[in-house]
Chains A and B, each alone.
Chain A
């Protein structure tokens, strides 16, 4: 039946209103980004698989709700591997929050620290860093996350944050991404097999698409290939040591304790640092860090610097056969929570004493010499793994670089 234009417009307007109301109500109830503070009902909306893609959005607001006294900062390495609740319990300084974000670097850690500290009484910070965080970044700078932070980089209040919050709420209620993530949230809560987040840990249920079927091996090969390409033409950028200093200065001002951790990386990456000629720069990076930390320790509260990034029984975990899963690593750069617990224990005087070393100007050179010796020993006794890394290195060098 043909409607008059007036009737058509009324029907259209009613339909638009109904559709928006339905979408908004469903998204508000499923709350895939935990923006609305909806109650998390087991089997319905408790798991939040959207953490895989929306970490900046989720964590920027979630950390303010938790108001942590213990904070973990860094990239996806600490986000996947370190349990902040466990750390907070060890340190008797609860609540804890893991504010590591995927692809986050030193600058992001500094900004998130400013953000969290503006609303919380932060007393303990564990900052996980890697050599990669200090290299030149050829890609565009991440800036979008900053609009949500409570303070600007200069420490002044971010007046735009409330506007951004309103935009995020609207987006969380009415966007296509939100409805897709709501449906995904519901499906994954029924299946009870997905990524999830808690203040302590990012439980990455689907760390690599298909990872559960194919095991770790393909991802080691992929990362090895990426290292071989990436490390060939890249240098340390001093700007990141500047951000590191900013973090230490800020922490001193807070009166908080900070522990800097050099995250463990699988020997595949360490071997690739040798092959690509990065090793001297890698050692110099550690020297610069020790020197920086020593300067701050002399001037006030001691800053601890722990190095887990060497050759040891965990980082040289053997590659399983195709389809097999590893105990300590997901891929060469991401360690498992099991290794994360060992690290946290070590920081608090428990656990394996051969794992990790406290770096000081006095111990540094002997520590570096020991790692060189470990490297030689590793090459002697791990010819199969060494061969695999070499193959990836030569394969990457043979292949074209770009369009």
Chain B
């Protein structure tokens, strides 16, 4: 089976600064892969390149649907990337603050709906049905994530942990088969992180979503990941399963500093 995400020799230069240096990375269907590295290593830049926010200097990026249909990501605008089935969350929360929690999730459904302006004004039965479905589907998503008590609350009023989970819910609403999570556990306490761990596993098992995650919380990374990529200064310095990475001397030197026991 082809990997859902196949990135080959991805390079990103900002003027004289090389942020990504010939990165190769694959994610297979229903895999949980982690991308780790010290701050400034280029991880979010990587996300920005594959989602079309930056245009990479060099390299090929291919997204392949579970049914086999492949799309080249190079040159695609971010909304097209999401349409093709890859969604993301952001390192700094980028929710739609002045919309309710439910509406934030409903926005995620946008690219899977078809109503246009005439439909919005006239409201034929097809449109009404679609709107009803959007509301119900979004509510069900909130149930899955566990945010139903905030349903009509403004996103900006949510506690931090709930906001992070809302971002995930919103991204999931776009029906991705590959979900990019950028530091989802940032700022969470131990209990919240455990809940996140369970959530991500459920996403994989129930919704058949592959996950590529950037994280600094090593406990979470080691517990969740099938495979890990380590980058430093834009270069890939290691790749493998959690045990291998834990033992890798280059990784320890660059990043972990001390022994890590899961």
A binds B: no
Q: Name A residues whose Cβ lies closer than 8 Å to a Cβ of B.
A: none
Q: Name B residues whose Cβ lies closer than 8 Å to a Cβ of A.
A: none
